[in-house]
Structure 1
Amino acid sequence: MNVTPTEQVEVIETAYAVKRLPSIKFILENPAHFLALGLGSGLSPIMPGTAGTLFGWLCFDVLTDRWPAVFTPSVWAVIIVLGFILGVKICDRAGRALGVPDHGAIVWDEIIAIWLVLLLVTPCSFTAEVVAVLLFRLFDMVKPPPIRQIERRYKGGFGVMIDDVLAAFFTLLVIAVWQF
Protein backbone atom coordinates (compact mmCIF):
# COMPACT_ATOMS: atom_id res chain seq x y z
CA MET A 1 0.00 0.00 0.00
CA ASN A 2 1.43 3.36 -1.04
CA VAL A 3 0.96 6.25 1.34
CA THR A 4 1.30 9.86 0.21
CA PRO A 5 3.29 12.35 2.32
CA THR A 6 0.01 14.07 3.26
CA GLU A 7 -1.43 10.78 4.51
CA GLN A 8 1.75 10.17 6.52
CA VAL A 9 1.35 13.54 8.23
CA GLU A 10 -2.30 12.77 8.99
CA VAL A 11 -1.32 9.44 10.54
CA ILE A 12 1.33 11.12 12.68
CA GLU A 13 -1.10 13.84 13.76
CA THR A 14 -3.75 11.26 14.74
CA ALA A 15 -1.17 9.45 16.86
CA TYR A 16 -0.86 12.65 18.90
CA ALA A 17 -4.59 13.36 19.20
CA VAL A 18 -5.03 13.40 23.01
CA LYS A 19 -3.25 16.29 24.74
CA ARG A 20 -2.00 16.01 28.33
CA LEU A 21 -0.18 18.31 30.67
CA PRO A 22 3.05 16.87 32.05
CA SER A 23 3.25 16.33 35.79
CA ILE A 24 5.19 14.41 38.41
CA LYS A 25 2.66 11.60 37.93
CA PHE A 26 3.37 11.60 34.18
CA ILE A 27 7.13 11.36 34.79
CA LEU A 28 6.69 8.45 37.18
CA GLU A 29 4.44 6.51 34.78
CA ASN A 30 7.27 5.47 32.50
CA PRO A 31 11.09 5.65 32.57
CA ALA A 32 10.97 7.11 29.04
CA HIS A 33 8.88 10.02 30.33
CA PHE A 34 11.34 10.55 33.20
CA LEU A 35 14.29 10.77 30.82
CA ALA A 36 12.50 12.71 28.06
CA LEU A 37 11.46 15.37 30.58
CA GLY A 38 15.06 15.71 31.76
CA LEU A 39 14.59 14.00 35.15
CA GLY A 40 11.93 16.60 35.89
CA SER A 41 13.73 19.72 34.64
CA GLY A 42 11.24 19.94 31.77
CA LEU A 43 8.45 20.56 34.27
CA SER A 44 9.73 24.11 34.82
CA PRO A 45 6.79 26.47 34.30
CA ILE A 46 9.14 29.09 32.85
CA MET A 47 11.26 28.28 29.79
CA PRO A 48 11.49 24.49 30.21
CA GLY A 49 13.96 24.23 27.31
CA THR A 50 16.33 26.59 29.09
CA ALA A 51 15.80 24.68 32.35
CA GLY A 52 16.70 21.44 30.56
CA THR A 53 19.77 23.06 29.02
CA LEU A 54 20.92 24.36 32.40
CA PHE A 55 20.33 20.92 33.93
CA GLY A 56 22.40 19.33 31.15
CA TRP A 57 25.17 21.89 31.67
CA LEU A 58 25.20 21.22 35.41
CA CYS A 59 25.32 17.44 34.87
CA PHE A 60 28.16 17.74 32.36
CA ASP A 61 30.28 19.95 34.61
CA VAL A 62 29.63 18.00 37.81
CA LEU A 63 30.27 14.59 36.24
CA THR A 64 33.37 15.77 34.37
CA ASP A 65 34.83 17.58 37.39
CA ARG A 66 33.97 14.88 39.95
CA TRP A 67 35.01 11.83 37.90
CA PRO A 68 37.43 13.00 35.18
CA ALA A 69 38.92 9.53 34.77
CA VAL A 70 35.46 8.12 34.00
CA PHE A 71 33.87 10.97 32.04
CA THR A 72 36.59 11.41 29.44
CA PRO A 73 35.91 13.00 26.03
CA SER A 74 35.68 9.53 24.47
CA VAL A 75 33.13 8.39 27.04
CA TRP A 76 31.12 11.59 26.56
CA ALA A 77 31.12 11.01 22.78
CA VAL A 78 29.66 7.52 23.30
CA ILE A 79 27.12 8.86 25.82
CA ILE A 80 26.03 11.55 23.36
CA VAL A 81 25.64 9.14 20.42
CA LEU A 82 23.73 6.62 22.53
CA GLY A 83 21.75 9.46 24.12
CA PHE A 84 20.69 10.65 20.66
CA ILE A 85 19.57 7.16 19.62
CA LEU A 86 17.73 6.65 22.91
CA GLY A 87 16.31 10.16 22.62
CA VAL A 88 14.61 9.39 19.32
CA LYS A 89 12.65 6.63 21.05
CA ILE A 90 11.91 8.27 24.41
CA CYS A 91 11.01 11.67 22.95
CA ASP A 92 8.64 10.00 20.51
CA ARG A 93 7.04 7.99 23.32
CA ALA A 94 6.68 11.04 25.59
CA GLY A 95 5.34 13.15 22.72
CA ARG A 96 2.69 10.57 21.93
CA ALA A 97 1.72 10.29 25.60
CA LEU A 98 1.50 14.10 25.90
CA GLY A 99 -0.38 14.45 22.61
CA VAL A 100 2.19 16.89 21.17
CA PRO A 101 5.18 15.63 19.13
CA ASP A 102 7.63 18.25 20.47
CA HIS A 103 6.05 19.32 23.74
CA GLY A 104 8.02 22.06 25.50
CA ALA A 105 8.49 19.84 28.56
CA ILE A 106 10.48 17.32 26.50
CA VAL A 107 14.05 18.48 27.12
CA TRP A 108 16.18 15.37 26.52
CA ASP A 109 17.04 16.90 23.14
CA GLU A 110 18.42 20.05 24.80
CA ILE A 111 20.43 17.96 27.27
CA ILE A 112 22.11 15.85 24.57
CA ALA A 113 22.75 18.89 22.37
CA ILE A 114 24.33 20.97 25.15
CA TRP A 115 26.52 17.98 26.06
CA LEU A 116 27.72 17.95 22.44
CA VAL A 117 28.53 21.65 22.59
CA LEU A 118 30.32 21.37 25.94
CA LEU A 119 32.26 18.30 24.84
CA LEU A 120 33.71 20.24 21.92
CA VAL A 121 34.38 23.56 23.70
CA THR A 122 35.78 22.35 27.03
CA PRO A 123 38.16 22.72 28.69
CA CYS A 124 37.46 26.41 28.70
CA SER A 125 36.63 29.20 31.12
CA PHE A 126 33.29 29.50 32.87
CA THR A 127 32.60 32.61 30.78
CA ALA A 128 33.18 30.63 27.57
CA GLU A 129 30.74 27.97 28.80
CA VAL A 130 28.15 30.68 29.51
CA VAL A 131 28.60 32.05 25.99
CA ALA A 132 28.26 28.54 24.53
CA VAL A 133 25.04 27.90 26.48
CA LEU A 134 23.57 31.28 25.49
CA LEU A 135 24.45 30.77 21.82
CA PHE A 136 22.91 27.31 21.88
CA ARG A 137 19.68 28.61 23.42
CA LEU A 138 19.57 31.41 20.83
CA PHE A 139 19.88 28.97 17.91
CA ASP A 140 17.47 26.52 19.52
CA MET A 141 14.79 29.20 20.01
CA VAL A 142 15.25 31.18 16.79
CA LYS A 143 15.81 28.11 14.57
CA PRO A 144 17.49 29.83 11.61
CA PRO A 145 17.42 28.12 8.20
CA PRO A 146 17.76 25.23 7.67
CA ILE A 147 16.90 24.22 11.26
CA ARG A 148 13.24 25.28 11.05
CA GLN A 149 12.75 23.53 7.70
CA ILE A 150 14.30 20.32 8.97
CA GLU A 151 12.21 20.49 12.16
CA ARG A 152 9.06 20.75 10.01
CA ARG A 153 10.12 17.95 7.69
CA TYR A 154 10.95 15.32 10.30
CA LYS A 155 8.33 14.36 12.85
CA GLY A 156 8.36 12.18 15.93
CA GLY A 157 11.41 11.52 18.06
CA PHE A 158 13.93 12.07 15.26
CA GLY A 159 12.47 15.49 14.50
CA VAL A 160 12.60 16.41 18.19
CA MET A 161 16.27 15.42 18.46
CA ILE A 162 17.69 16.63 15.15
CA ASP A 163 16.79 20.33 15.41
CA ASP A 164 18.68 20.64 18.70
CA VAL A 165 21.72 18.84 17.32
CA LEU A 166 21.68 21.31 14.41
CA ALA A 167 21.42 24.20 16.89
CA ALA A 168 24.48 22.70 18.62
CA PHE A 169 26.37 22.63 15.30
CA PHE A 170 25.45 26.27 14.61
CA THR A 171 26.71 27.14 18.10
CA LEU A 172 29.98 25.32 17.48
CA LEU A 173 30.37 26.99 14.08
CA VAL A 174 30.00 30.47 15.60
CA ILE A 175 32.47 29.61 18.36
CA ALA A 176 34.97 28.24 15.83
CA VAL A 177 34.68 31.33 13.61
CA TRP A 178 34.92 33.61 16.65
CA GLN A 179 38.13 31.89 17.80
CA PHE A 180 39.61 32.07 14.31
Structure 2
Amino acid sequence: MTDSSPLAAKPQVLVWSNPWHNLAFGFGSGLMPKAPGTWGSLVALPFVPLWQLLPGWGYGVLLVLSMLFGIWLCGKVARELGVHDHEGIVWDEFVGIWMTFWLAPQGWHWLLLGFVVFRVMDIAKPWPISWVDRHVHGGIGIMLDDILAGAAAWAVMQGLVALLA
Protein backbone atom coordinates (compact mmCIF):
# COMPACT_ATOMS: atom_id res chain seq x y z
CA MET A 1 0.00 0.00 0.00
CA THR A 2 1.04 3.62 -0.48
CA ASP A 3 0.46 6.87 1.38
CA SER A 4 -2.77 7.27 -0.60
CA SER A 5 -4.11 4.06 0.93
CA PRO A 6 -7.83 4.22 1.79
CA LEU A 7 -6.93 2.94 5.27
CA ALA A 8 -4.44 5.78 5.75
CA ALA A 9 -7.03 8.33 4.65
CA LYS A 10 -9.79 6.94 6.90
CA PRO A 11 -8.22 5.13 9.88
CA GLN A 12 -11.25 5.79 12.12
CA VAL A 13 -12.78 2.39 11.37
CA LEU A 14 -9.70 0.57 12.61
CA VAL A 15 -9.09 2.91 15.54
CA TRP A 16 -12.49 2.12 17.02
CA SER A 17 -12.54 -1.57 16.10
CA ASN A 18 -8.92 -2.70 16.55
CA PRO A 19 -7.31 -2.43 20.03
CA TRP A 20 -3.78 -2.06 18.58
CA HIS A 21 -4.86 0.84 16.38
CA ASN A 22 -6.74 2.35 19.33
CA LEU A 23 -3.57 2.34 21.43
CA ALA A 24 -1.37 3.63 18.61
CA PHE A 25 -3.86 6.45 17.98
CA GLY A 26 -3.85 7.37 21.67
CA PHE A 27 -7.39 6.22 22.46
CA GLY A 28 -8.64 8.27 19.52
CA SER A 29 -6.70 11.48 20.25
CA GLY A 30 -4.67 10.99 17.08
CA LEU A 31 -7.85 11.37 15.04
CA MET A 32 -8.12 15.07 15.92
CA PRO A 33 -8.01 17.07 12.66
CA LYS A 34 -5.49 19.62 13.95
CA ALA A 35 -2.34 18.97 15.98
CA PRO A 36 -2.84 15.25 16.74
CA GLY A 37 0.57 15.09 18.44
CA THR A 38 -0.42 17.81 20.86
CA TRP A 39 -3.73 16.08 21.59
CA GLY A 40 -1.93 12.78 22.07
CA SER A 41 0.47 14.42 24.51
CA LEU A 42 -2.47 15.88 26.43
CA VAL A 43 -4.17 12.48 26.68
CA ALA A 44 -0.90 10.94 27.94
CA LEU A 45 -0.42 13.64 30.58
CA PRO A 46 -2.92 12.29 33.18
CA PHE A 47 -0.89 9.07 33.36
CA VAL A 48 2.16 10.99 34.63
CA PRO A 49 0.97 11.42 38.25
CA LEU A 50 0.26 7.68 38.33
CA TRP A 51 3.72 6.80 37.01
CA GLN A 52 5.25 9.25 39.52
CA LEU A 53 3.85 7.10 42.32
CA LEU A 54 6.36 4.43 41.26
CA PRO A 55 9.93 4.50 42.54
CA GLY A 56 12.36 6.04 40.04
CA TRP A 57 13.61 2.65 38.90
CA GLY A 58 10.01 1.43 38.41
CA TYR A 59 9.15 4.48 36.29
CA GLY A 60 12.35 3.81 34.30
CA VAL A 61 11.33 0.18 33.68
CA LEU A 62 7.89 1.38 32.59
CA LEU A 63 9.55 3.76 30.11
CA VAL A 64 11.77 1.05 28.62
CA LEU A 65 8.82 -1.34 28.26
CA SER A 66 6.67 1.45 26.73
CA MET A 67 9.45 2.22 24.22
CA LEU A 68 9.93 -1.40 23.20
CA PHE A 69 6.19 -1.95 22.96
CA GLY A 70 5.88 1.28 20.96
CA ILE A 71 8.47 0.21 18.39
CA TRP A 72 6.44 -2.91 17.71
CA LEU A 73 3.03 -1.19 17.94
CA CYS A 74 3.82 1.83 15.77
CA GLY A 75 5.54 -0.33 13.15
CA LYS A 76 2.60 -2.75 13.04
CA VAL A 77 -0.05 -0.05 12.73
CA ALA A 78 1.92 1.94 10.13
CA ARG A 79 2.33 -1.21 8.02
CA GLU A 80 -1.36 -2.04 8.32
CA LEU A 81 -2.28 1.51 7.26
CA GLY A 82 0.25 1.37 4.44
CA VAL A 83 2.15 4.51 5.47
CA HIS A 84 5.57 5.33 6.88
CA ASP A 85 4.38 7.39 9.87
CA HIS A 86 0.71 8.35 9.97
CA GLU A 87 0.32 11.66 11.81
CA GLY A 88 -2.45 10.11 13.91
CA ILE A 89 -0.12 7.54 15.45
CA VAL A 90 0.61 9.20 18.79
CA TRP A 91 1.90 6.38 21.01
CA ASP A 92 5.33 7.92 20.38
CA GLU A 93 4.10 11.18 21.93
CA PHE A 94 2.80 9.21 24.93
CA VAL A 95 6.26 7.80 25.56
CA GLY A 96 7.99 11.12 24.88
CA ILE A 97 5.84 13.01 27.36
CA TRP A 98 6.26 10.25 29.95
CA MET A 99 10.06 10.47 29.51
CA THR A 100 9.92 14.20 30.12
CA PHE A 101 8.63 13.66 33.66
CA TRP A 102 10.88 10.83 34.81
CA LEU A 103 12.39 11.98 38.15
CA ALA A 104 10.62 15.37 37.88
CA PRO A 105 8.74 16.84 40.82
CA GLN A 106 5.00 16.38 41.09
CA GLY A 107 2.57 19.26 40.72
CA TRP A 108 0.40 20.91 38.11
CA HIS A 109 2.95 23.66 37.36
CA TRP A 110 5.60 21.03 36.55
CA LEU A 111 3.09 19.19 34.36
CA LEU A 112 2.34 22.38 32.44
CA LEU A 113 6.01 23.30 32.09
CA GLY A 114 7.03 19.80 30.98
CA PHE A 115 4.17 19.64 28.48
CA VAL A 116 5.32 22.89 26.86
CA VAL A 117 8.99 21.86 26.86
CA PHE A 118 8.21 18.49 25.27
CA ARG A 119 5.93 19.98 22.60
CA VAL A 120 8.61 22.56 21.69
CA MET A 121 11.23 19.81 21.33
CA ASP A 122 8.87 17.57 19.36
CA ILE A 123 7.73 20.31 16.98
CA ALA A 124 11.07 22.16 16.54
CA LYS A 125 13.02 18.89 16.22
CA PRO A 126 16.51 20.26 16.89
CA TRP A 127 19.42 18.18 15.57
CA PRO A 128 19.78 15.15 15.89
CA ILE A 129 16.01 14.71 16.26
CA SER A 130 15.38 16.20 12.80
CA TRP A 131 17.94 13.87 11.20
CA VAL A 132 16.39 10.81 12.85
CA ASP A 133 12.91 11.93 11.78
CA ARG A 134 14.03 12.06 8.12
CA HIS A 135 16.33 9.04 7.95
CA VAL A 136 15.16 6.31 10.35
CA HIS A 137 12.08 4.38 9.29
CA GLY A 138 9.72 1.71 10.58
CA GLY A 139 8.60 1.36 14.18
CA ILE A 140 12.00 2.45 15.50
CA GLY A 141 11.90 5.58 13.33
CA ILE A 142 8.39 6.49 14.44
CA MET A 143 9.42 6.13 18.08
CA LEU A 144 13.02 7.36 18.06
CA ASP A 145 12.43 11.03 17.21
CA ASP A 146 9.93 11.32 20.09
CA ILE A 147 12.22 9.36 22.42
CA LEU A 148 14.96 11.88 21.63
CA ALA A 149 12.54 14.80 22.04
CA GLY A 150 11.50 13.31 25.39
CA ALA A 151 15.15 12.90 26.42
CA ALA A 152 15.90 16.52 25.46
CA ALA A 153 12.80 17.73 27.32
CA TRP A 154 13.85 15.58 30.30
CA ALA A 155 17.29 17.25 30.33
CA VAL A 156 15.70 20.70 30.22
CA MET A 157 13.31 19.75 33.02
CA GLN A 158 16.14 18.41 35.18
CA GLY A 159 18.01 21.68 34.65
CA LEU A 160 14.92 23.64 35.63
CA VAL A 161 14.41 21.45 38.69
CA ALA A 162 18.00 22.20 39.75
CA LEU A 163 17.39 25.94 39.29
CA LEU A 164 13.84 26.26 40.64
CA ALA A 165 13.12 23.48 43.11
Q: Which blocks of at least 5 consecutive residues in structure 2 are unaligned?
A: none
- Structure 2 match to 1:154: 136
Per-residue Cα deviation, 1:123-155 (whole angstroms, up to 9, x for no partner):
3x3212211110100110110111111122210
**Within-5 A mapping of 1:30-45:** 30-45=18-33
Which secondary structure does the structure 2 equivalent of 1:93 belong to? helix
Which structure has the greater CA radius of gyration? Answer: 1
Give 1:105's aligned residue: 88
Over residues 14-67 of structure 1, what are the superposed CA-to-partner deviations in whole Å (9 max), with x where a residue is unaligned?
A: x64552224442114433211111121111122110111011111222x358xx
In 2, Cα distance between the equivalents of 1:162 and 1:156? Answer: 10
TM-score with structure 1 length normalisation? 0.79
Query: How many angstroms apart in 2 are the aligned matches of 1:81 and 1:166?
Result: 13
Where do residues 1-180 of structure 1 align in structure 2 (5 Å cutoff)?
16-19=2-5, 20-61=8-49, 63-64=50-51, 68=53, 71-123=54-106, 125-178=107-160, 179-180=162-163
- Residue type of the alignment partner of 1:25: V
Say which SS state the counterpart of residue 127 (structure 2) adopts: coil
Instruction: Specify whether residues 23 and 152 from structure 1 end up closer, same or farther in structure 2 by C-alpha distance, changes over 3 A only.
Output: closer
CA contact (8 A) 1:38 1:52 kept: yes
Identical aligned residues as a percent: 33
Aligned partner letter, 2:20: A
Q: Which moved more, 1:23-32 or 1:87-96?
A: 23-32
Question: 1:176: Cα distance to partner?
Answer: 3.1
- Given that 1:16 and 1:95 are in contact with CA atoms closer than 8 Å, whether structure 2 keeps it comes out as no
What SS is found at the alignment partner of 1:119?
coil
The alpha carbon displacement at 1:108 in A equals 0.2
CA contact 1:27–1:40 (8 Å) conserved in 2: yes
Distance 1:162 1:64, change over 3 A: closer
Give, in whole Å, the separation in 2 of the partners of 1:117 and 1:36: 19
Secondary structure of the structure 1 residue equivalent to 2:139: helix
3-state SS of the aligned residue for 2:101? helix
Task: State the 1:78 CA deviation.
Answer: 1.8
CA separation in 1, counterparts of 2:117 and 2:3? 34
CA RMSD, aligned part only? 2.0
Q: Distance in 1 between matches of 2:84 and 2:130?
A: 15
Counterpart AA for 2:142: V
User: What SS class does the counterpart of residue 102 from structure 1 fall into?
Assistant: coil
How many pairs does the alignment contain? 160
How many angstroms apart in 1 are the aligned matches of 2:55 and 2:38?
Answer: 25
